[in-house]
Amino acid sequence: MEFIKFRNVEKTYKNGVNAVYDINLDIKKGEFVFVIGASGSGKSTLIKMLYREERPTIGEIYVGGINVAKVKNSKVYKLRRKIGIVFQDYKLLPKLTVYENVAFALEIYGLPTVEVRRKVLKALDLVGLKSRTKSYPDQLSGGEQQRVAIARAIVNSPKLLICDEPTGNLDPDTSLEVMKVIEKINDLGTTIVMATHDREMVDKMKKRVILLDNGKLVKDYEKGSYSHYEGN
Amino acid sequence: MKAIRIILRNIRDGFKSVGRNISLSIASISCITITLLIVAIALIVSYNVESITKRVKEDFTIITFVDNAASEEEIKNLASNIEKLDNIDSVEHETKKQIADEMKETSDSLSAIIDTWSDETNPLYDTLLVKVKDTEKISDTAKKVQKLDLVKDVKYGQGMVESLLSVFNVLEKGMIIAMVALVLVTLFLITNTIKITIFSRKREIEIMRLVGASNFSIKQPFVIEGFVLGFLGSLIPIGLTLYGYSALYNHFNGQLFSPFVKLVSAEPFVYIVSLILLALGVVVGMFGSYNAVRKYLKI
């Protein structure tokens, strides 16, 4: 069953830049998909359209049955509550502790404090940071900060986790550590869509890979069939 | 229950972020404090000027001298005829005997002379003291009174009244313009300071949106923060108004230079001014942050 559907999606920015064209793509529930391509290939645009930061100019995008392109600005938050997003620059609030940063994503729903606490600790446990709840982001390493960001993204048990270059700022060892956490989340049933530059990582992970070039979907590698030594 | 929890958390976050962004909060609070202080001074000055001019205007009287040939009955008729004219507030009859008695009290030598007058030889005139409703039209009204039978003469401080009135006019209009300008400047300054405070927290708003906070729940803590900033900013101006003006009033015994220039009594005036300052600070604070956050929300 398709969880995410792209149908003839095209995005042209207001300044006339054509970011992506004619994207058709299906992603099943529980899949782990890498989106790769050079800078400017349209990866980010594709990812941003998934969480309705950008709207496609033409075409339709369905996420779990919702036509994302049709979601109004004032209703975007309803979509965002169903998905988790992780960014290259973590986007943690520096003046909140680890616990508060993660709890923040739950408190906006008005959950009771006891439940917030239970879910936050569970999410932090999953990323291996249960002992750092009282630290502030600047007291953590990059990898740890990214794990906090992942905890925040999954604390609400979303069906979809979107990652935009989550390891872009991390060294290879730390990247692997973060990737393992994400893989664990995938094993628990969450669909993962990840844009990345890190081809070596993609190699190691043996997942489905979508290659974009100049705004076009040029290749869709089945799980495990991608190798960057092929010359891509 | 859910909604109440969200609101309570937003109130908590609103208060917390005043402390978390303490340097910017202090900047906003001092800006609000200074502008509200200026507003407080302007309010006090303009209200006092207004009250003084009003008092002076209330003293404007058309003194109508009645012909000595008029009988008691005719004077009464004249008074009621004057009352029928436009713009008349009150008419008071003062007999020449009353005027003579008043004059006697002013000095002993005058008193000796006046004592020699009998009712027949009293050279003074009976007068009708006419107060008008609209002092702007006092000269027109005086002319109408003058034309009535048995009116010997009218006096209302011709010349001086007109120039006083025009001075008052300019003063009052100037005050209104200054007040409006001040309030606008206050609005502008406070909203801008708050805007800068919030600008530095664009990222926070962005993240709130990303984790699925609705526009309403993003705005709420900021509006509460604006409320807190406005409230804290109005404390010093309110304190100075309450204690400062009362002290000033007591120091001058409620009048400036002469008993003619009376200050507005401290109570309840200071409470009204304080309320205005509080309302201005709080409303502008809330409005300012509401507006600033809106800028960073896609609505």
Q: Does A91 contact chain B (CB < 8 Å)?
A: yes
DSSP secondary structure string for all residues of B23-61? HHHHHHHHHHHHHHHHHHHHHHHHHHHHHHHHHHHHT--
Which residues in chain A have Cβ-Cβ distances shorter than 8 Å to B197? none
Alpha carbon of residue B33 to chain centroid: 21
pLDDT beneath 70: ranges in chain B:
260, 298-299
* CA dist., res. B294 & res. B224, Å (int): 14
Which residues in chain B have Cβ-Cβ distances shorter than 8 Å to A91? 203, 206-207, 210
Query: What contacts A126, CB < 8 A, 6 or more positions away?
Result: A151, A154, A181, A184, A185
What does the CA dihedral A56, A57, A60, A64 come to, rounded to 10 degrees? Answer: 20
Give CA separation, B81 vs B76, B134, B231, in Å. Answer: 9, 19, 58
Give tens-digit pLDDT for A24-63. Answer: 999 999 999 999 988 888 888 999 999 998 899 999 999 9
**What pLDDT, on the 0 to 100 scale, is given for residue B207?**
87
Which residues in chain B have Cβ-Cβ distances shorter than 8 Å to A105? 211-212
From the number of C-beta atoms within 10 Å of its C-beta (0-12, 13-18, 19+), residue A86 rates as buried
- Number of A/B CB contacts below 8 angstroms equals 58
Q: Does B209 contact chain A (CB < 8 Å)?
A: yes
Q: Is the pLDDT of residue A227 over 80?
A: no
Q: Is the pLDDT of residue A202 over 60?
A: yes
Chain A: closest CA distance from residue B24 (Å): 14
Chain B: closest CA distance from residue A105 (Å): 6
**What pLDDT, on the 0 to 100 scale, is given for residue B117?**
80
Q: Does A81 contact chain B (CB < 8 Å)?
A: yes
Say which of B5, B6, B212 has its CB closest to residue A81: B212
B285 and B233 Cβ atoms separated by less than 8 Å: yes
Pairwise pLDDT comparison (A186 vs B158), residue with the higher score? A186
**What pLDDT, on the 0 to 100 scale, is given for residue A147?**
93
Interface confidence (ipTM) of the complex: 0.81
* CA dist., res. B6 & res. B224, Å (int): 13
Partner-chain contact A93 B214, CB within 8 Å: no
Pairwise pLDDT comparison (A17 vs A44), residue with the higher score? A44
Say which of B3, B6, B213 has its CB closest to residue A77: B213
Best probe of the A interface among B210, B217, B296, by most A CBs < 10 A, is B210
Partner-chain contact B212 A85, CB within 8 Å: no
Query: What contacts A221, CB < 8 A, 6 or more positions away?
Result: A208, A209, A210, A211
Whole-model pTM: value is 0.72
* CA dist., res. A209 & res. A197, Å (int): 12
**What pLDDT, on the 0 to 100 scale, is given for residue A61?**
93
Residue type, B118: S
Structure tokens at B64: 């109508």
Best probe of the A interface among B17, B211, B222, B299, by most A CBs < 10 A, is B211
Q: Does A13 contact chain B (CB < 8 Å)?
A: no
Report the phi/psi class of residue B275: left, alpha or beta, with left for phi > 0 and alpha for psi in -120 to 50: alpha
* CA dist., res. B28 & res. B74, Å (int): 71
**What pLDDT, on the 0 to 100 scale, is given for residue B116?**
81
Closest CA relative to residue A201, chosen from A230, A161, A174, A232:
A174
Say which of A95, A105, A109 has its CB closest to residue B20: A95
Chain A: closest CA distance from residue B292 (Å): 17
Q: In terms of DSSP bridges, do strands A32-36 and A208-213 run parallel, antiparallel, or are they unpaired?
A: parallel
Buried b (16+ CB within 10 A) or exposed e, A111-131: beeeebeebbbebbebbebbe
By C-alpha distance, the chain B residue nearest A150 is B211
Chain B: closest CA distance from residue A133 (Å): 18
Say which of A74, A112, A156 has its CB closest to residue B299: A74
Q: Is the pLDDT of residue A231 over 80?
A: no
Beta bridge partners of A217: A212
B171 and B269 Cβ atoms separated by less than 8 Å: no
Mean pLDDT score, A154-166: 92
Pairwise pLDDT comparison (B120 vs A232), residue with the higher score? B120
Residue type, A111: L
Give CA separation, B170 vs A213, B39, B258, in Å. Answer: 74, 20, 23
Q: Is the pLDDT of residue A232 over 50?
A: no
* CA dist., res. A154 & res. A15, Å (int): 35
**What pLDDT, on the 0 to 100 scale, is given for residue B27?**
86
A85 and A153 Cβ atoms separated by less than 8 Å: yes
% of chain A residues with pLDDT over 70: 97
